[in-house]
Amino acid sequence: MSISTAPDVRPGRLAPAEYAQRFADATPRLTPAQAVLEAERCLYCFDAPCATACPTGIDVPSFIKRLAEGNLRGSARAILEANPLGGMCARVCPTENLCEAVCVRNTQEGKPVAIGRLQRHAVDALMESAHPQLFTRAPATGKKVAVVGAGPAGLACAHTLAKLGHDVMVYDARPKAGGLNEYGLASYKTPGNFAQTEVQWLLSIGGITLHRDWKLRTLAQLDALRMDYDALFLGMGLGTTHQLGVPGEPLGGVQDAVDFIATLRQTDNLATLPIGRRVVVIGGGMTAVDAAVQAKLLGAESVHIVYRRGPEAMSASSAEQAWAQTHGVTIHHWLAPTEILANPTQSNHVGAVRFARQALVGGKLTATGERETIEADMVFKAIGQQLGNPVLAQAGFALEGGRIATDAVGLTNLRGIWAGGDCRAGGLDLTVEAVEHGKQSALAIHAQLAQ
């Protein structure tokens, strides 16, 4: 195959006004009247399956009933008592696979109550009110807890501990708190700087001190935290991305999808962000979809998601896959990358990606011998992340699959240290699950400190 054109990567592919329009809220807010009408569809089931399906155990019928009665503050309380990051989870949680999937209205009529949108309506109303803080701290316990990581798990842990009267110091590697909520989600899912609005609400309870630009790099740092604090929670997420391990990977125009998303999230003027005319995204999860759709929204002419297995194996939900296709992204299955090819007119830059077609033979993924090549000016790698912090092994943490092994409430094999979120082994890598990890570990830490 001959690559037909020189690399085409540049900013400003759209008229200035188009950026705001294209990156507007993907799910417009319900009006008050729409919210009440939707809430009245709820059957307020006893032993409601939607509440059971929620990883944080939100009493869904209770918050919806209060919303229907016009008690938005009470509705938000019912949500945030169970999930202190309920506003963000309402925006990004895969409700179609969790609470809404088991909604009785869904099983009876094929149309669930819009639980996620109602949750957002209640929490947004609280956040925009004159007095958004619902909770007050318990009397001070005199205990100090360190939290490493200001993502969903760390923030949920810190907020729960602060509410119980403990002093919490949160250490994070980034300039802004929020973790993936700030740096790792498509901007059209969380417009209006909501991630920081939620962080400020969480911190406003008091008792939480945030230390930015701090990364766990040495065993001495970990030892100091264990010595200086009564307990330690690790919610550090996954720090490094998997590599493709194919020839041509170092070429210009090849980058991690998470870095692209983070850069986009922190770019004030999207017209200044370069994007290729032809983009290939390798991977099958939500990060791949977020990168692909945003590349298309920035003005890329052709965007391809390429995944090595079939559609049912993709970790991106069917709704996410449909969202990508609706925005003009082509999804290819059963193709594994074998080589990234240089552009002949600019040999240090990507020009195409060569793939080998795959098939399941005896349950094992096997190359069929067929090959396919897709031209690209930019390639985003979205094949997963790993913890990749050598300090953890040096400290003696038990690891499973490269992540920290814990018991059900997040206690590690090292005394006084808990862990949760993506860095914890055996999870679903969902924001809502990370919140529950942080909350449950905080309650366990509180119980331990009270002895």
Q: How confident is the model over 90-120, as pLDDT tens digits?
A: 999 999 999 999 999 998 999 999 999 999 9
Q: What pLDDT band is residue 363 in, cutting at 50, 70 and 90?
A: confident
The last residue of one of the domains, among 72, 97, 127, is 127
Contacting residues for 153 by C-beta, under 8 A, at least 6 apart: 179, 233, 235, 237, 420, 421, 422, 424, 434, 435, 437, 438, 441
Cα distance between residue 160 and residue 204, in whole Å? 13
pLDDT tens string 191-208: 889 999 999 999 999 999
Tell whether 224 and 315 lie within a shared domain. no
Do the beta carbons of residue 436 and residue 247 sit within 8 Å?
Answer: no
Q: What is the pLDDT of residue 428?
A: 82
For residue 26, count other CB atoms closer than 10 A to its CB. Answer: 15
Q: Do 209 and 248 lie in a common domain? A: no
Other C-beta atoms lying within 10 Å of the C-beta of residue 383: 20
Predicted confidence (pLDDT) at residue 4 exceeds the cutoff of 80: no
Where does the pLDDT of residue 122 fall: very low under 50, low under 70, confident under 90, or very high at 90 and above?
very high
Q: pLDDT, tens digit, for every residue of 373-390? A: 999 999 999 999 888 899
Q: Same structural domain for residues 276 and 345? A: yes
Sign of CA dihedral 260, 263, 268, 274: negative
pLDDT at 275 over 80: yes
Q: Retrieve residue 142's tokens.
A: 């005199």
Average pLDDT over residues 173-185: 96
| Residue-wise pLDDT tens digits, 331-355 | 999 999 999 999 999 999 999 999 9
Residues 222 and 285 reside in one and the same domain: no
Does residue 27 lie within any of the structural domains? no
What pLDDT is stored for residue 239 in this prediction? Answer: 82
> 115-127 and 72-82 helices cross at what angle (nearest 10)?
110
**Same-domain check for residues 110 and 158:** no
Tally of CB atoms within 10 A around 139: 7
Q: How far is Cα 308 from Cα 317, in angstroms, rounded to an integer?
A: 16
pTM: 0.94
Count of Cβ atoms closer than 10 Å to residue 446 Cβ:
20
In this structure, the answer to whether residues 289 and 230 fall within a common structural domain is no
Would you place residue 2 in the very low, low, confident or very high pLDDT band (cuts 50, 70, 90)? Answer: low
For residues 35 and 118, give the distance between their C-alpha atoms in angstroms, rounded to a whole number.
Answer: 6
Question: Does residue 10 belong to any structural domain of this protein?
Answer: no
In the DSSP assignment, the letter for residue 431 is H
Mark whether 268 and 377 lie in a shared domain.
yes
Mean pLDDT across the chain? 96
Please tell me the total count of domains within the chain.
3
Residue 2 maps to a domain: no
Please answer whether residues 233 and 438 qualify as being in contact, where contact means their C-beta atoms are separated by less than 8 angstroms.
yes
* pLDDT, tens digit, 9 for 90 and up, residues 304-329: 999 999 999 999 989 999 999 999 99
Q: What is the 3-state secondary structure (H, E, C) of 243-300?
A: CCCCCCCCCECEEEHHHHHHHHHCCCCHHHCCEECEEEEECCCHHHHHHHHHHHHCCC
Pairing of strands 335-343, 346-361: antiparallel
DSSP state of 185: S
CATH code of 149's domain: 3.50.50.60
Handedness of CA 218, 224, 225, 227 (dihedral sign): positive
Taking residues 276-286, what's their average pLDDT?
A: 97
**CA–CA separation, 276 vs 375, rounded Å?**
11
17 within a domain of the structure (yes/no): no
Under a CB-based contact definition with an 8 Å cutoff, are residues 137 and 176 in contact?
no
Quick check: 201 and 181 in contact, CB under 8 A? no
Amino acid identity at 234 = L
> What spatial distance separates the first Cα and last Cα of the chain, rounded to whole Å?
70
- The model's pLDDT over 211-240, given as tens digits with 9 standing for 90+, comes to 999 999 999 999 999 999 999 999 999 988
Q: In the predicted model, is pLDDT for residue 1 greater than 70?
A: no
Say whether both 352 and 248 belong to one domain. Answer: yes
Query: Does 3 map to a domain?
Result: no
- Say yes or no: 373 and 283 in one domain: yes
Say what the pLDDT of residue 16 is: 93
Do 380 and 275 lie in a common domain?
yes
What distance in Å separates the CA atoms of residue 270 and residue 350, rounded to the nearest whole number? 23
Domain assignment present for residue 230? The answer is yes
Domain with 317 in it: 242-384
> 125-147, pLDDT tens digit by residue?
999 999 999 999 999 999 999 99
CATH number of residue 67's parent domain: 1.10.1060.10
**Cβ atoms of residues 405 and 259 within 8 Å:** no
Above 80 in pLDDT, residue 3? no
Kindly state whether residues 315 and 280 are assigned to the same domain. yes
Which residue is associated with the tokens 């098939």? 359
Provide the pairing of β-strand 254-256 with 240-241. Answer: unpaired
The answer as to whether 103 is a domain residue is: yes
- What share of the chain in percent tops pLDDT 70? 99
Q: Which of 384, 418, 440 is the last residue of a domain?
A: 384
Q: What is the pLDDT of residue 295?
A: 98
What was the pLDDT predicted at 154?
Answer: 98
pLDDT digits (tens, 9 = 90+) for 42-95: 999 999 999 999 999 999 999 999 999 999 999 999 999 999 999 999 999 999
CA dihedral 11, 13, 19, 24 (to 10 degrees): -110
Residue 256 has pLDDT above 80, yes or no: yes
Final residue before a domain boundary, out of 127, 159, 194: 127
323 is a domain residue = yes
341 with 374: CB under 8 angstroms?
Answer: no
409-434 mean pLDDT: 95
Q: How far apart are CA 209 and CA 312, in angstroms?
A: 43
150 and 188 inside one domain: yes
